[in-house]
Structure 1
Amino acid sequence: MNKETSTPPTIVGLPQEVPADTFFSRINRRHLIGAALILLGLLSTALLITVIVQAKHRRQNNTNNVVNSYCVNRGCLSAATHQLNFMDPTAFADRCTDFYKYACGGWQQTHPIQSFDTERTILNDIIARRDVDIERLLDSSISRGSQKSWERKVKTYYTECVDDYARVLDSGKAMIDLISDRDTVDGWFLIDNSVPGASQDTLLKPQTIFTQMSHIHGDLGTNAVFGLRVRFDDTDLNIKRLEFYPSGLTLEITDYLQNDPVSQNHLSAYRTFISEVLTLLTKDAGINDGNLYDRISTVLDDILFVEKILAEARQKSLNNGDKTTLLTLKQMSDAYICDFVELMGYELGDPSVVSGITLVYVTNKIYFDEVFAFLSKNNDPTVARRIHNYMRWRIIQTYIEDLSYNYVHAYRIFLNNYYTYTLHSTNEAYCTREVIRRFPLAIHRLYTMNSTKNSNTIETVQKIFDALKTALKKYINEQATWMPDETTKAIARQKIDALTAAIGYASIASNDERLDDYYERFAVETNSHLENAYGYHRFHAWTILNSLLNPNQLDHWDLFETRTSRLFDYIAMFNRLFVIASAMDEPLVNTEWPWAVNMGSLGVLLAQKLFASIDGPEGRVHAANGTQTSDWWSTSTENAYNTSRRCITNYYVRDVQNLSYNVYGTQVLVRLAGEPFSPTTLRHIGALRFAYTTLKENDQIKSLKMPGTNLTNEQTFFLAYAQTQCYKRDELLQLVATQLGRYDERTALNAALVHMPEFSETFQCKPKDNQCF
């Protein structure tokens, strides 16, 4: 067996030193031409002979030929450098049982958890790097400085947010003036009842629930009792409706309802925080009467009393499997002691857009029934005081980080005590996060117009999506043994055929004039961040109105922004994959990297999202056109899938058995149950499988190895995916997650790979007898 060899390419461009008076200096142009023709003839003859010999050799040895060529272009060298920095080559011997260690061992040694965090992941690092870039851009000079300019508004908002911590010391007084305004909130028991002879048990100025909601919820954008947003109609994607959802709690539900040490510590930290903030407010208000501390205690108890009522209602709703209900605003008004037609008309700033027959979504109706039954007792003086104090506290809680530094400091100390570790956050970092969260369209425009990197990313991601879509359909036809019946496969194929991708961002975010118009109603000042924060909440109310009137203006990206993923996600009601192209960066994708690396990293992550279109809870109840339907899986498919699910569950229970965590110096073992995590593992296996098919069918450099790692393209594919799973996490945090059935990336990765014969063959591992899926 002959081995083909290759010599390094000649390095061109280096100066050559040739003696001035030599034989070479006397050769003229005619001599050179003649010699070149002779040499060319000899080379042509040699090349012809070589081709004939090689062709004969390949015919005789086509099954045994070994190619050891390496890909040495810039993309391969870049990708190999990245992979080498992440991996631990010394762990190669354990690749079959702990591929994670081999793939991520180097990354774990060089990427510590930051002091203000509890975990570190690849995706979070990408977001963090992007946030740093955005912070720099927000701090740069304004290029479009007109009054209407979106750029001027968001940069001014950011600047005032940062500067106010240092120079504005009386924003607490401004908040008190806002609460005392007779035309809006009209006072607070904490302050009003400081006058001589005032009752310390009842309100001087009682208000109806409607009055308090209209000003506190409507004017100030405070989520007290419930929150308000928009969602697409389940049956018509050209219509958006208002949606009411439970809101108004600061802590987790369990913190109010359970007596375990953790919950009690959380509640204690919260009580301290409330007391400190109430003390700061009374100091800024100049209140120091003899009943002050008793009144602070009363307000504190009232806040916790009402929040516990809300927590109990939320828990009851969850325990009873409460689902979203479609009601008219008149039905809400009749059920909940409040004119919701008038309230929504007031909050949206346009009474004409709503009426008694306007249909709205109410999530967790049991919660609303329970809470408004309590609010209906507002005629009772004690209940009225409790509701009154809770409502005003929610204003403070909403704007706490928009006040002066002493309030912000109290809030950060509360967070430190709540999470039991120090949260370090600079003013710049906080303000950057706020601007990103509140003005996503403007931020996307700011980022893309100032960045030239990844200019071809959209084309690369589109190519990956197109290949995955084709491979997923082939997977359904040829490999999805868990989907045995043709009826279910036919629906799955219909969904795949109708799959679309939105890569980039909303079109409005690429046009300055359209953005200027969109942000026209957002007013920003250069002298008060609190005023700007208040202005944002009024602008946010307008965005809800605008979304109702123009449901498709943002190309459905507004719904994507409500998802937990900030980079990419599949949304079943559109049967569409959303990818923010500007955030696509190494190590997920590089336009110069070879196909094996891009498909193994970003490709598999997107494949997991696409796989959810056929196996996810949302995917199973949405048709190809996105409309909601009954579960389209047949009984035979569900039974076959559950067989695979039980197989994976048994693997976790019998093979892995338990995971160990070092919590404050003590080793704690957690016994694995396999549920509810097994469907996630099945999705990982399925996604890897059809993405691997994509690699095999589309790779243009199949025969080349990666330099440095010495891995084949197939091996590089699996390594690329594994390196998207590198992580570090606080042991206690992961222990709790494991107990809840959310396993760590290392466990999940190794479980998926051990059940893939493709991986076993590629890395010469003994295949598992039962592949499960």
Structure 2
Amino acid sequence: MELSSANSQPIKKNSVPSGCELGINERTGRLQWCPGYRFVKVLFVIPAAMLPVALLFLVLTRFNVVGSVKYPDRQMNYYPDHSNQLEEIQARCKPVRSTLSEVLDVEERDILRDLRTSFIPSKHVIQVLPADCAQPERYDGLLAIPDDPSQSDLVNIYRSKRSATRQRQTRKSVPQASTWSNKGSSESIRATQVDIMKKYMDLSADPCNDFYQYACGNWERVNPIPKDKAGLDTFEILRESLDIVLKNLLLETRDGSLVDIENTLATTLKPIETEHIRRVRKRIIRKRAVLNKLVLKAQIKKMKRELSTHAALDSEENNAETKARHLFISCMNYSLIEKRGLQPLFDLLQSLGGWPVLNPNWQSDNFDWLNLTAHIRKFNNDILIVEWVGPDIKNSDENIIQFDQTSLGLPTRDYFLQASNKKYLDGYKQFMIDVIVLLGVQPEIAKQTAEEMIDFEVQLANITSSVEERNNVSVLYRKIILENLHEEIPEIDWTRYLSIIMERPINSSEFVVMFALNYMKDLVLLIDQTEPRTVANYILWRFVRHRINNLDDRFLQAKQKFSNVLFGREKSPPRWKNCVNQVNANMGMAVGAMFVRKYFDENSKRDTLAMTHELQQSFREILNETDWLDTPTKRLAEMKVNAMSLRIGYPDFILSHKELNEKYADLEIAPDKYFENTLRILSHIRRTDQNKIGQTVNKTAWHTAPAVVNAYYSRNKNQIMFPAGILQPPFYHRYFPKSMNYGGIGVVIGHELTHGFDDKGRLFDRDGNLYRWWSDHAIEAFHQRASCLVRQYGKYTIDEVNVQIDGESTQGENIADNGGIKQAFRAYTKWLSEQTDPDVLSGETLPGLNVTNTQLFFLNFAQVWCGAMRPEATRNKLKTAVHSPGKFRVIGTLSNSEDFAREFSCPVGTAMNPGDKCSVW
């Protein structure tokens, strides 16, 4: 059929159609309706023509035939345009410096929340977060910017999905430690361990004079302290190995390979061929009758594809492991962090009412310090008032709101109050000045503000209680309803404060536990006597000092200067280490799931559980042999041992994708919003914490990430926990002799078990309640034995800094060390006595080490504590730590051990076998 006229009249001479058909105007190329004269044009022509034209337009639009589609010619957000993806990646992934925080950047409450002990000092980390640089959100050639703004969200979803799945070249994995890859024969594993142990030993040293020197004398020569660390010990090396494993897991793609950002090539989308378009047009012209069917089929396919894509996107976005990887991406995306600059921080501060030091026009008329601290608490930061929800220490089945005194900007109050610490206080003040100047304030104003804040914090430190004053938790504890608390401290509106934090009304009849009543009374007096501008500056400084972890390198360099003063660290660690630590600290269960699925040896869980039961039996035997405990107290103590719950490796729920995803369901993570991701995580932690109010305590729950190198005992749950990360050499390997495993993880088990009966653990009964269940006679006998350890360790001096150990502060850990090794050796010798197979017995030593199987037990125990620390870090540790330095955890423990002295034939009177020994358990 022809359409011969300019006005597209559909009638051809001598060929008038009897019906209605579609035709193409040869001049315009447009599809038009060709009605016959038997149709009523007014009623049918216009509406009948619009439908097929619209359908055809949709089809042609899909093939970019018609319509003016706008394509962006540059990156929309924060990235400059680059000629290819490789160039862009190279520009973004430049080497950067970051920092691992020491003890000052932990945004968690280190007060009485879980009353938990750890085998070693926890690795404190700031909240940051997963793996190498991410692909930026770039234009996808198949997706045009819609004219309809309502469609922009869908476009962004598609962009994010396609960016995340863009094809990349891969590189080979970083070599894994054989212990995590489960590779190697028994012989090769043992031979490797022998080489390591011999390197550390000083065979010229007399084990009966200084066993630490004998076991670890060559440590510092073999392992010099890196410039980016305050110290290096066995645990740090294990963490380094584990961090590499976690980094690779966070970098892994679906096929198991690693993303190679530096060498990833851009994926070029092929343009639609003109010939293809022409064929489509011809087909439409020829197949007019099937036009509607074609359009309908295409629309159905499109809808199915969109539904499938949306389902995949929803699944991917709600996946906990994907969220963890996005956190890592946002942390590693330094180029974007740098481009965004200070605006995210400024916006946050503005939402909190503004930081006076940044705003000369700040007015104090409407300043409300309680309101400000409550809103900052919503980001899981406790400033001036520490608040949390957790088990009531006198009723461990009940979650209750609890309050305590503030933490400070330096490790302890002594840093502010003792003149000998002026160096550290000056360094802290300079840190304040540097940060404020970087935010755009004149140096003179920054200095004056810093001095005012320091003066305020010194006064704040003065009203806090010392560690020694807080040893008796029973004296600190006070359960009270909010209404009565308000009567005692009317200056603080407790219900308003809690309502802001919990984002719901709080009843004044709600019970809370207060651990620092006198501090709160002094706090309101101090605030009343201080200029509001200074109080506001201080509160926001304490918040900002954590937020600079999410800013560019200038702030991290300022932080590094302060770390050098405080810890002696010469440079910041690589950024990836910081990011790995942060994602593990904040999404530990998601990271743990990845780790456990790929690397965890289930044999270690079974062996550790069996060993734990053996050590429990050892403790029962030791308990029954004691002559200083009365029978009723012994019976209750045995009941507590029997009631101890064990958590080994990981919680089962992390292997269920559904349950794991539910844990992080309300957490939104974007790969390009590091600053906001951190705030969201802090809010998520706070919500999880606060939502426990009114719920029964779940004593089976895990509160520790599986992929960490440590072990824990919870006093108010009477629970021992051994995460998967510690079940590695030198603590455990399935191919190690039992002597080494008992001297490694066995001692750790005994250590944590003994914590239930140390100076603080003994105050809690088998259900985890603070309760006086010991007789007066037993308490007095315990104190006599514990005071022996206090005196013993108090005499040890660290020569490098000429400072003595605080025997009082470390007594709990020292009791646990001494009890743990005694139980572990007893369990090992009992196991040994039950073996009759000569091959098993001959396998209890290591070829190449000239030690017996029982000596190997003690040697492995000692080498766990090999290490070295910079003088500044040593001073800080001695001021704050509850653990003795590693050297004295070896010397102090073994010099009290009759078993050690016998196995090494040490004469009585030698340093390692003194005539007078201390023993509690």
TM class, shorter-length: 0.7 to 0.9
Counterpart of 2:540? 392
1:693 aligns with 2:826: yes
1:371 aligns with 2:504: no
Distance 1:326 1:376, change over 3 A: farther
Distance 1:216 1:634, change over 3 A: closer
Structure 1 range deviating more: 745-754 or 533-542: 745-754
Partner AA of 2:753 in structure 1: L
Helix, strand or coil at the partner of 1:238:
strand
Partner AA of 1:226 in structure 2: I
Partner AA of 1:464 in structure 2: M
Distance apart, 1:159 and its partner CA? 0.8
1:714 aligns with 2:864: no
Take 1:89 and 1:393, find their aligned partners in 2: how far apart are those partners?
48
- Greater helix content: 1
Deviations 1:430-449 (A, max 9, x none): 22222222222222112212
Distance apart, 1:207 and its partner CA? 2.1
Counterpart of 1:486? 631
Counterpart of 1:342? 496
1:177 aligns with 2:347: yes
Take 1:509 and 1:486, find their aligned partners in 2: how far apart are those partners?
43
Counterpart of 1:10? none
Answer yes or no: is the 8 Å Cα contact 2:609–2:648 preserved in 1.
yes
Deviations 1:111-154 (A, max 9, x none): 22222222222233223322222122223336886221112222
1:757 aligns with 2:915: no
Q: Which of 521, 524, 533 matches 2:669?
A: 524
Counterpart of 2:453? 303
Distance 1:152 1:260, change over 3 A: same
Helix, strand or coil at the partner of 1:91:
coil
Partner AA of 1:247 in structure 2: T
Partner AA of 2:610 in structure 1: K
Distance 1:566 1:552, change over 3 A: farther
1:130 aligns with 2:289: no
Distance 1:132 1:681, change over 3 A: same
Q: Which of 710, 729, 732 matches 1:567?
A: 710
Q: Which has the larger radius of gyration?
A: 2
Take 2:340 and 2:806, find their aligned partners in 1: how far apart are those partners?
55
Distance apart, 1:577 and its partner CA? 1.0
Take 1:672 and 1:209, find their aligned partners in 2: how far apart are those partners?
40
Take 1:554 and 1:628, find their aligned partners in 2: how far apart are those partners?
16
Counterpart of 1:9? none
Take 2:355 and 2:876, find their aligned partners in 1: how far apart are those partners?
41
Take 1:617 and 1:596, find their aligned partners in 2: how far apart are those partners?
30
1:329 aligns with 2:482: yes
Take 2:805 and 2:551, find their aligned partners in 1: how far apart are those partners?
46
Take 1:445 and 1:205, find their aligned partners in 2: how far apart are those partners?
51
1:461 aligns with 2:608: yes
Q: Which of 740, 744, 766 matches 1:597?
A: 740
Counterpart of 1:158? 328
Counterpart of 1:280? 438
Distance 1:318 1:223, change over 3 A: same
Distance 1:729 1:623, change over 3 A: same
Q: Which of 591, 613, 617 matches 2:756?
A: 613
Partner AA of 1:542 in structure 2: R
Take 1:685 and 1:323, find their aligned partners in 2: how far apart are those partners?
29
Distance 1:168 1:725, change over 3 A: closer
Distance apart, 1:398 and its partner CA? 2.9
Distance apart, 1:631 and its partner CA? 5.2
Distance apart, 1:693 and its partner CA? 1.6
Answer yes or no: is the 8 Å Cα contact 1:188–1:392 preserved in 2.
yes
Take 1:204 and 1:675, find their aligned partners in 2: how far apart are those partners?
45
Distance apart, 1:251 and its partner CA? 2.1
Counterpart of 2:681? 536
Counterpart of 1:476? 623
Answer yes or no: is the 8 Å Cα contact 1:100–1:746 preserved in 2.
yes
Answer yes or no: is the 8 Å Cα contact 1:454–1:585 preserved in 2.
no
Take 1:221 and 1:771, find their aligned partners in 2: how far apart are those partners?
46
Q: Which of 230, 236, 242 matches 1:118?
A: 230
Distance apart, 1:408 and its partner CA? 2.8
1:137-152 aligned within 5 A: 137-141=249-253, 146-152=316-322
Counterpart of 1:3? none
Answer yes or no: is the 8 Å Cα contact 2:233–2:865 preserved in 1.
yes
1:267 aligns with 2:425: yes
Deviations 1:563-620 (A, max 9, x none): xx95212222222211112441111001222221111111012112212223x12321
Uncovered stretches (5+) of structure 1, i.e. residues with no partner: 1-72, 195-201, 284-291
Distance 1:77 1:612, change over 3 A: same
Counterpart of 1:85? 196
Answer yes or no: is the 8 Å Cα contact 2:566–2:876 preserved in 1.
no
Helix, strand or coil at the partner of 1:282:
coil
Distance 1:78 1:446, change over 3 A: closer
Partner AA of 2:616 in structure 1: K
CA RMSD of aligned residues (A): 3.4
Distance 1:592 1:268, change over 3 A: same
Distance apart, 1:708 and its partner CA? 1.9
Helix, strand or coil at the partner of 2:768:
coil
Answer yes or no: is the 8 Å Cα contact 2:220–2:868 preserved in 1.
yes
Distance 1:405 1:710, change over 3 A: closer
Helix, strand or coil at the partner of 1:557:
coil
Deviations 1:509-541 (A, max 9, x none): 222212222212112223321122222222222
Distance apart, 1:468 and its partner CA? 0.6
Distance apart, 1:328 and its partner CA? 2.4
Distance 1:162 1:124, change over 3 A: same
Distance apart, 1:662 and its partner CA? 4.1
Distance apart, 1:311 and its partner CA? 1.3
Partner AA of 1:722 in structure 2: A
Structure 1 range deviating more: 225-234 or 727-736: 727-736
Distance apart, 1:273 and its partner CA? 2.4
Helix, strand or coil at the partner of 1:586:
coil
State the TM-score, normalized to the length of structure 1. 0.77
Answer yes or no: is the 8 Å Cα contact 2:896–2:918 preserved in 1.
yes
Take 1:535 and 1:520, find their aligned partners in 2: how far apart are those partners?
12
Aligned length in residues: 659
Partner AA of 2:339 in structure 1: L
Structure 1 range deviating more: 358-367 or 184-193: 184-193
Answer yes or no: is the 8 Å Cα contact 1:164–1:529 preserved in 2.
no
Take 1:599 and 1:719, find their aligned partners in 2: how far apart are those partners?
11
Partner AA of 2:826 in structure 1: T
Counterpart of 2:864? 724
1:223 aligns with 2:393: no
Take 1:771 and 1:222, find their aligned partners in 2: how far apart are those partners?
45
Counterpart of 2:509? 357
Distance apart, 1:234 and its partner CA? 2.2
Counterpart of 2:373? 213
Distance apart, 1:762 and its partner CA? 2.0
Answer yes or no: is the 8 Å Cα contact 1:121–1:726 preserved in 2.
yes
State the TM-score, normalized to the length of structure 2. 0.65
Answer yes or no: is the 8 Å Cα contact 2:814–2:889 preserved in 1.
yes
Take 1:368 and 1:318, find their aligned partners in 2: how far apart are those partners?
19
Take 1:652 and 1:187, find their aligned partners in 2: how far apart are those partners?
50
1:26-105 aligned within 5 A: 75=186, 78-79=189-190, 81-87=192-198, 91=203, 94-105=206-217
Helix, strand or coil at the partner of 2:865:
coil
Distance 1:76 1:461, change over 3 A: farther
Take 2:356 and 2:791, find their aligned partners in 1: how far apart are those partners?
59
Uncovered stretches (5+) of structure 2, i.e. residues with no partner: 1-183, 256-311
Structure 1 range deviating more: 81-90 or 149-158: 81-90
Take 1:268 and 1:460, find their aligned partners in 2: how far apart are those partners?
51
